[in-house]
Structure 1
Amino acid sequence: MTSPTSTTSALDGASIDGGLYGDITDFARHTHWLNGPVFAYTSYGVALFAVFMLVGWWIARRKEAPVMAAALAAPVAMVLAYGVNDAVKSVFTEPRPCRALPHDFLIEKCPPLDDYAFPSNHTTVVAAAAVALFFVDRRLGAVATMAALVMGASRVYVGAHYPHDVLVAFVVGGVVAFVVSWSARRYAAPLVTRLRGGALKPLLA
Structure 2
Amino acid sequence: MIPNVPLPADLLAYDGSGIDGGLYTRVTGWAESAPHWFEQLTRAWSAYGMAVFALLMLWAWWRARAADSAVMARVLASPLIVVAAYLVNSVLKSLVEEVRPCRQLPGSFVVESCAPVGDWSFPSNHTVAAFSAAAALWYADRRIGWVALLAAVLMGASRVWVGAHYPHDVLAAALLGVLVAVPLALLAGRAAPLVDRLRTGPLGPVLGAGAV
Identify the TM-score tier after normalising by the shorter chain.
over 0.9
The 5 A counterparts of 1:59-98 are 59-98=63-102
Aligned partner letter, 1:159 = G
Post-superposition Cα deviations, 1:125-174, rounded to whole Å, max 9, x if no partner, equal 01111000011111110011001100000000000000000000001111
Residue 196 of structure 1 aligns with which residue? 199
- Provide structure 1 residue ranges, at least 5 long, that are not aligned to the other structure: none
CA offsets per residue over residues 98-141 of structure 1, 9 Å max, x none? Answer: 11102110111011111000000000101111000011111110
Distance in 1 separating the partners of 2:202 and 2:91: 39
> Which one of the candidate residues 173, 176, 179 is aligned to 1:172?
176
Which residues of structure 2 form unaligned runs of 5+? 1-9
TM-score normalised by length of structure 2: 0.91
Q: RMSD in angstroms over aligned alpha carbons? A: 1.1
Distance in 1 separating the partners of 2:162 and 2:101: 11
Structure 1 stretches of 4+ moved >3 Å: none
Work out whether 1:46 is the aligned partner of 2:50. Answer: yes
Larger mean CA deviation between 156-165 and 175-184 belongs to 175-184
Alpha-carbon distance between aligned partners in 1 of 2:11 and 2:179, rounded to the nearest angstrom? 29
Aligned partner letter, 2:109: F
Superposition pairs of residues 21-36 of structure 1, within 5 angstroms: 21-33=24-36, 34-36=38-40
Matches within 5 A, 1:56-205: 56-185=60-189, 187-205=190-208
Overall identity of the aligned pairs, in %: 50
SS of corresponding position for 1:194: helix
TM-score by length of 1: 0.94
Q: Tell me how far 1:6 sits from its aligned partner.
A: 5.9
